[in-house]
Amino acid sequence: DRKQATCIAPVNIAVVKYWGKRDENLILPINSSLSGTLSTDQMCAKTTIAISKSFQRDRLWINGKEQDATGKRLQNCLREVRSRCGSEIEGCHYHICSVNNFPTAAGLASSAAGYACLGEYFEYKEGITKIQFTIRQGSGSACRSMYGGFVKWEMGNKSDGSDSIAVQVTPESHWPEMEVLILVVSDKKKGVSSTSGMQTSVKTSKLLKYRAESLVPKLMTEMETAIQQKNYQAFAEITMKDSNQFHAVCLDTYPPIAYMNDISHKIVQLITHFNQYCGEYKACYTFDAGPNAVLYVLAKDVPQILSAVCHYFPCTENHDSYIQGLSNYSDVKEFPKEIENTICLDPIPGSLTGIIHTRVGSGPRVILDD
Ligand code: DP6
């Protein structure tokens, strides 16, 4: 039996967003969603989990700092696992130690990756489908981090949630050209959490209801087809429209929620004008419950997009660490003057804290087991 193991699990970024629960206890969503799993080389949580009778209580460390392990989310997860493991772990407690391999100051959501590590640890016990129900107690979107490539979380219809599961749409080998640029926006303050934001949206936004019932089903089908056919033009358009719609729902929520800031909007302008100049989609943006932009870009177009982004959001401090991952700042080409003349952006203060260049990658794995 597994006593101690270290697992690695990826972050995922939705291109059709999950927003709203129809059951708060079982964590059942009001709409299906679809995401890309990011490569664990640049973006992952690495978690060591140990279980012992000699531990007096559950304990949790994140990035070296001890956290409160009595929180509802973690305890709900552990309770489910305990109830399934039964007498063999009676009187045992867990020590869980999780670190992210990306800068935490980036303000990027990592709880899905953290809970997917727990999922990977307990998978041998419950199987990959059942374990999803457990880790969703921690973070709903964590179930999509259990697979690599592109993954959909089918909302299901049953009230017991047995048909609400994440499944792989295509493995990471299907579209290896798909790369990802995370534009980390300088914004320290923490906004409304996804959990409470979506609760308020469910209660107050009629647009959310319309989106979930009448728009998302079609978006899901179109997105799956775009991915299966590796149709970037269709993929890009749906991704941007879905992100815009999600943030429109946030503004339709009362009181309204604004996750995007002036810099986020300037990124939208830049990508829109650049695509217009090119006459086709070269990049598409998506924003989660925060101001950071995630761009899905085909490998061939990454140099051009990086040159545009670095021109309008220049590095002000440390050049060596401005771009992390698959590209370097020193390789970024100068932005052509003739394009600059046709792109006009709102002059606003502030820039990015950095850029992470990664790609769509594989699912979680156990790296060390006793
Ligand atoms: C905007 O999975 O963080 O990133 O289920 O309450 O833990 P809880 O919410 P969470 O919500 C993610 C919201 C989103 C969209 C998405 O990832 O689909």
pLDDT-based confidence at residue 2 (cuts at 50, 70, 90): confident
- How many whole angstroms separate alpha carbon 223 and alpha carbon 236? 9
Ligand 1 pocket test, candidate residues 115, 135, 141, most atoms within 8 A of CB: 141
Residue 234 vs residues 17, 225, 277: alpha-carbon distances, Å: 17, 9, 18
Nearest alpha carbon, ligand 1 atom 11? 194
The reported pLDDT for the residue numbered 199 is 98
* Whole-angstrom distance, CA of residue 183 vs CA of residue 368: 32
pLDDT at residue 86 above 90?
A: no
Q: Indicate the angle between helix axes 232-252 and 194-204, nearest 10 degrees.
A: 70
Above 70 in pLDDT, residue 187?
no
Residue nearest to atom 1 of ligand 1 (CA): 288
CA of 332 to the centre of ligand 1 (A): 33
CB atoms within 10 A of CB 354: 23
236-267 pLDDT, tens digit each:
999 999 999 999 999 999 999 999 999 999 99
Are residues 233 and 281 in contact, defined by beta-carbon separation less than 8 angstroms? yes
Let me know: does 209 contact 217? Beta carbons within 8 Å: no
Task: Yes or no: say if 4 and 366 are a contact pair by the CB < 8 Å rule.
Answer: no
CA distances for 60 relative to 28, 330, 369, angstroms: 26, 39, 19
* Mean pLDDT lowest among 79-88, 148-157, 290-299: 79-88
Give Cα 35 distance to the centre of its chain: 8
Q: What is the pLDDT of residues 261-294, one digit of tens each?
A: 999 999 999 999 999 999 999 999 999 999 999 9
CB atoms within 10 A of CB 209: 15
Task: Output the six-digit token pair for 87.
Answer: 């007498």
Residue 318 pLDDT more than 80? yes
What is the amino acid identity at position 176?
Answer: P
**Beta partners for residue 94, in sequence order:** 51
What's the pLDDT score for residue 279? 97
Q: Find the 147 Cα to ligand 1 centroid distance in Å.
A: 16
- Residue 352, strand partner residues: 185
Whether residue 106 is predicted with pLDDT greater than 70 in this model: the reply is no
Ligand 1 binding site (Cβ under 6 Å of any ligand atom): 14, 17-18, 27, 33, 139-141, 194-195, 288-289
Inform me whether the pLDDT recorded for 105 exceeds 60: no
Averaged over 214-220, what is the pLDDT?
98
- Predicted pLDDT of residue 110: 80
Query: 84 falls in which pLDDT band (50, 70, 90)?
Result: confident
Q: Which tokens sit at 249?
A: 């729902």
Give tens-digit pLDDT for 109-150. Answer: 689 999 999 999 988 888 889 999 999 999 999 999 999 999
pLDDT at residue 54 greater than cutoff 80: yes
**How far away, in angstroms, is 33 Cα from ligand 1 center?**
10
Confidence of residue 340 (pLDDT cuts 50, 70, 90): very high
Ligand 1: nearest atom to the Cα of 195 = 6
Cα distance between residue 291 and residue 210, in whole Å? 25
Q: Separation of 337 CA from ligand 1 center, angstroms? A: 40
Whole-number Å distance between alpha carbons of 238 and 173: 22
Task: Check pLDDT > 60 for residue 104.
Answer: no
